Amino acid sequence: MRCPFCSEVVDRVIDSRSARDHREIRRRRECLECGRRFTTREKMEEILPKIVKRDKRREEYDRLKIEHSLQKACAKRPVSEDELQLLVDNVEHALQEVSEAEISTDFVGLKALEGLVLLDKLAAARFASVFRSFESAEDYEEFFASLQKKD
């Protein structure tokens, strides 16, 4: 690891801690040349499939897109940022388990919706209205009816 202050590569690890639900390691290091301390984070490289859009375009998975849509759905709802981050982590984990090179936006949306239903049903309805392109009050009625059947 190169020191950000003097660019030397000789350092020692002072402390290591698990972070982000044990998916990341935070290491506190000390440069043996200049004596200054710095922090590094190590994260396992995750290989996620390409996303196939409804119009058949393909693009790289973007965590920020799903985060942003979930944050919009949960605006002014009692859902914490930690709960949302955990939900996005769970969606990514589901994508990794599929082990396919490409996956549809429907799969990503369904995984997000499943988790959102457990957090907040109204936020789930907001998300579903965009994800499933609701056009009338009957679409909302069907959605809430399907939730009641599951309960």
Query: So where are the chain's domains?
Result: 11-43, 50-150
Query: By C-alpha distance, which of 52, 30, 32, 50 is closest to 40?
Result: 30
Cβ atoms of residues 103 and 52 within 8 Å = yes
Q: Which amino acid is at 84?
A: L
Does 124 have pLDDT greater than 80? Answer: yes
Average pLDDT score, the chain = 91
Say what the pLDDT of residue 72 is. 96
pLDDT digits (tens, 9 = 90+) for 5-43: 999 999 999 999 987 667 789 999 999 999 999 999 988
pLDDT digits (tens, 9 = 90+) for 134-148: 999 999 999 998 888
Say what the pLDDT of residue 22 is. 76
| Residue 21 token pair | 């639900």
